[in-house]
Amino acid sequence: MDLLGDILETMAHTPIKKRAIANHGVLSEAFEYAKPSSFSRGMRIDLNGLVILLISGTASINERGESVHIGDFRAQLRRTFSNITGLLASEGATWHDIVRTTCYLRDIDRDYNVFNEERTAFFKEQGLDPLPASTGIQAHLCRPELLVEIEAIAMFRTEKVAAPAGSPAEETQ
């Protein structure tokens, strides 16, 4: 077999490492809620130097599992972004590693303009370019007082990968 074939064969038989993501300084675990729920805040998947973070739907919840900023869409959205930022940081990631978000709004007709203003401002603060792929969906959320919930996917490498010969990155090294 050739080298590429050997690598692919090894990868096919290498177990995928996965573990739950947590940041108790930002969010308590869902199973600790007054009404427990069975999910992880997210999952970290390690694939031979490539890390994928799957962040579960995250909302305006404090570290005690309580909904905060009830009735204030902007404040709920900012808290949601803050909670996701904390989960990313716990794994050594930032918003620059986010490749996709799915955004659930309780009332998309009423709140989408404010959502888009706040999201645009937040993404500018983060200096994101390119912006993550995203979908906005109207949904009944798990708590009636929550107005927005966001799930996210992040990807980053834990090992430096050499740039292909002749690429702009290789030429500047």
Q: What is the pLDDT of residues 15-24, one digit of tens each?
A: 788 988 888 8
Q: Does domain 15-159 have CATH number 2.60.130.10?
A: no
In the predicted model, what is the mean pLDDT of residues 143-170? 81
How far is the C-alpha of 122 from the C-alpha of 126, rounded, in Å? 6
Q: What is the mean pLDDT of the chain?
A: 87
Peptide bond connecting 36 to the previous residue in cis, omega within 30 degrees of 0:
no
Q: Mean pLDDT highest for which of 6-10, 12-16, 23-27?
A: 23-27
CA angle 84, 85, 89 (to 5 degrees): 115
Entry pTM: 0.82
* Structure tokens, 147: 């107005």
- Backbone dihedral angles phi then psi of residue 85, each to the nearest 5 degrees: -55, -45
User: Which residues lie closer than 8 Å to 168 by C-beta, 6 or more apart?
Assistant: none
